[in-house]
């Protein structure tokens, strides 16, 4: 099982590196979003710090959803997804492999955005606690976006549909992540409960995705 997962991860990461365009688009989108927010909010108000958690997490979510759509699009067009399903590999391994490779790619993009935001907003964002929050939150949403992007395979207009499907499900994640980030930046007291909420959501969403993926992958 673990060997299968590792193989899928390696394959996906290799593919991601070869077809950089999809991931670069997601990274560009995230960068532009942060820049736009920075500009717009600087025009609006002097102190941007309270807005930072919201800015970061909306950017991460939109970039993550966008990226999920892109990465699956490629695989669907190549037909490799169906081939993988036929292989004598446990379906859950396929899901965990895709999940992990998406997670790694997104964490890279998010780290770059944290770096950028630190500079633009003149805030120390690269603390261990904040990085931990970002990792936990990303795990929470990547499981659902990976599952949903798999299901959207054949549908036209999927790129618009994916956010409409994903965002309502991710409301608790957004609440927990924004609050935890805010607390970590000292904007409010106590990041503990929010980190707990993020952990609960991450466990729930990953469990739900792992349970549902076999049903979604049936042909």
Angle between helices 171-184 and 158-169 (to 10 degrees): 70
> What x-and-dash track marks residues 73-92 binding other proteins by CB under 8 A?
--------------------
Tokens of 111: 């780290």
215 binds other proteins (CB under 8 A): yes
Whole-number CA gyration radius for the chain:
17
Shortest spacing between CB 81 and other proteins, in angstroms: 13
In a 13 Å sphere around the CA of 117, the CA atoms on its Cβ side amount to 28
* Distance from C-alpha of 53 to C-alpha of 174, rounded to nearest angstrom: 10
Question: With respect to other proteins, which residue has the nearer C-beta, 103 or 177?
Answer: 177
Residue selected from 116, 123, 161, 199 as contacting other proteins according to rule CB under 8 A: 161
Question: With respect to other proteins, which residue has the nearer C-beta, 23 or 57?
Answer: 57
Question: With respect to other proteins, which residue has the nearer C-beta, 84 or 148?
Answer: 148
Residue selected from 4, 104, 135, 175 as contacting other proteins according to rule CB under 8 A: 175
Question: With respect to other proteins, which residue has the nearer C-beta, 124 or 186?
Answer: 186
Please spell the DSSP secondary structure of 68-133, one letter per residue: HHHHHHHHHHHTHHHHHHHSSS-HHHHHHHHHHHHHHHHHHHHHHHHHHHHHHHT-----HHHHHH
Residue selected from 68, 125, 176, 180 as contacting other proteins according to rule CB under 8 A: 176
Question: With respect to other proteins, which residue has the nearer C-beta, 119 or 207?
Answer: 207
Are residues 131 and 100 in contact, defined by beta-carbon separation less than 8 angstroms? no
* Distance from C-alpha of 138 to C-alpha of 142, rounded to nearest angstrom: 6
Stretches 53-61, 84-92, 125-133, 195-203: which one binds other proteins (CB under 8 A)? 195-203
Instruction: Give the SS3 label for residue 156.
Output: coil
The residues of the shown chain that bind other proteins, judged by CB under 8 A, are 144, 147-148, 151-152, 154-157, 161, 164-165, 167-169, 171-172, 175-176, 179, 188, 190, 193-194, 197, 200-201, 204, 208, 212, 215-216, 218
């Amino acid at each position: 099982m673990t060997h299968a997962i590792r193989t899928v991860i390696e394959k996906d990461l290799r593919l991601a590196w070869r077809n950089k365009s999809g991931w670069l688009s997601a990274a560009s989108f995230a960068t532009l979003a942060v820049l736009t927010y920075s500009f717009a909010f600087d025009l609006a108000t002097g102190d941007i710090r309270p807005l930072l958690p919201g800015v970061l997490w909306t950017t991460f979510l939109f970039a993550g959803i966008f990226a999920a759509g892109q990465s699956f699009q490629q695989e669907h067009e190549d037909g490799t997804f169906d081939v993988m399903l036929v292989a004598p590999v446990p379906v859950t391994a396929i899901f965990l492999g895709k999940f992990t490779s998406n997670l790694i790619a997104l964490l890279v993009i998010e780290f770059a955005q944290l770096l950028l935001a630190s500079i633009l907003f003149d805030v120390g964002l690269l603390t261990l606690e904040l990085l931990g929050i970002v990792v936990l939150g990303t795990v929470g949403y990547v499981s659902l976006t990976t599952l949903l992007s798999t299901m959207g395979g054949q549908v036209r207009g999927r790129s618009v549909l994916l956010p409409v499907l994903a965002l309502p499900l991710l409301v608790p994640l957004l609440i927990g992540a924004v609050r935890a980030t805010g607390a970590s930046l000292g904007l409010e007291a106590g990041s503990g409960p929010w980190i707990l909420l993020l952990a609960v959501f991450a466990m729930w969403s990953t469990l739900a995705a792992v349970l549902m993926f076999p049903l979604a992958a049936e042909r």
